Amino acid sequence: NAGVTQTPKFQVLKTGQSMTLQCAQDMNHNSMYWYRQDPGMGLRLIYYSASEGTTDKGEVPNGYNVSRLNKREFSLRLESAAPSQTSVYFCASSENRVTEAFFGQGTRLTVV
Amino acid sequence: KNEVEQSPQNLTAQEGEFITINCSYSVGISALHWLQQHPGGGIVSLFMLSSGKKKHGRLIATINIQEKHSSLHITASHPRDSAVYICAVRSRASYDKVIFGPGTSLSVIP
């Protein structure tokens, strides 16, 4: 049972490049989330998906798009990366919006 | 003022010591989570609680809803407990809003 799997684990991008962070869960969870974690700050929600086919903005959605491809997969896309998007990104899933969440291992993204 | 605050920010303890990490929040909540983030970066959920006390092994979490305060205790601390401990609250006003504290960095020295 892999839980929540994120790829890639590390990525370096040049300003203006695009990329997609992939996330998959095998726990049949309804809700999935994307967070970013910056030094000295708590995790901040970028986007979430309460169920397959729905997505909603979180606290810091600007510069990102998401796709809930199916119940298992929830991807995060940076269309034109900026240095301010240098961060560690975490995907998480939970059975529903009020149960505990399970986190992926994180993606360390650097935009130069 | 942040909606979720933790103290201390950093903590160094000797192996075997009893450790307490505090979390205070200013919003109405439906649940509070304690998470552990190891140096490798992975985040693990330790507890989810909405009242009273929960215990798992050497870890104990308590919450006082009236005082808007929670504590995480580690008994007989061990170097493998070294990690960042994060408190997070789920807003009662919006189940979709989870607010994370800044974390407490714990280092347990042998």
Instruction: Give the Cα separation of A77 and A34 in Å (integer).
Output: 11
Interface touch B31/A108, C-beta < 8 Å: no
Q: Work out the average pLDDT over B10-37.
A: 95
Cis amide bond preceding B8, omega within 30: yes
B48: chain A residues, CB-CB within 8 Å: 99-100
Q: A 1-60 residues with CB below 8 A of B? A: 40-45, 48, 50, 56
Interface touch B86/A44, C-beta < 8 Å: no
When CB atoms are compared, the residue of A40, A98, A103 closest to B42 is: A103
When CB atoms are compared, the residue of A42, A50, A102 closest to B45 is: A102
In this predicted structure, the answer to whether residue B95 has a pLDDT above a threshold of 70 is no
Q: What is the pLDDT of residues A54-77, one digit of tens each?
A: 999 998 999 999 999 899 999 999
Instruction: Give the Cα separation of B53 and A46 in Å (integer).
Output: 31
Give the whole-number percent of chain A exceeding pLDDT 90: 80
Split at pLDDT 50, 70, 90, the class of A1 is: low
Give the whole-number percent of chain A exceeding pLDDT 70: 98
In this predicted structure, the answer to whether residue B9 has a pLDDT above a threshold of 90 is yes
Q: Contact, B76 vs B58, CB < 8 A?
A: yes
Q: B 59-98 residues with CB below 8 A of A? A: 86, 88, 90, 95-98
Q: Contact, B101 vs B88, CB < 8 A?
A: yes
For A43, the token pair is: 């995790």
Interface touch A97/B41, C-beta < 8 Å: no
Interface touch A48/B96, C-beta < 8 Å: yes
Q: Is B32 on the interface with A (CB under 8 A)?
A: no
B98: chain A residues, CB-CB within 8 Å: 45
Q: What is the Rg, in whole angstroms, of the alpha carbon atoms belonging to chain A?
A: 13
Q: What is the pLDDT of residues B62-89, one digit of tens each?
A: 999 999 999 999 999 999 999 999 999 9
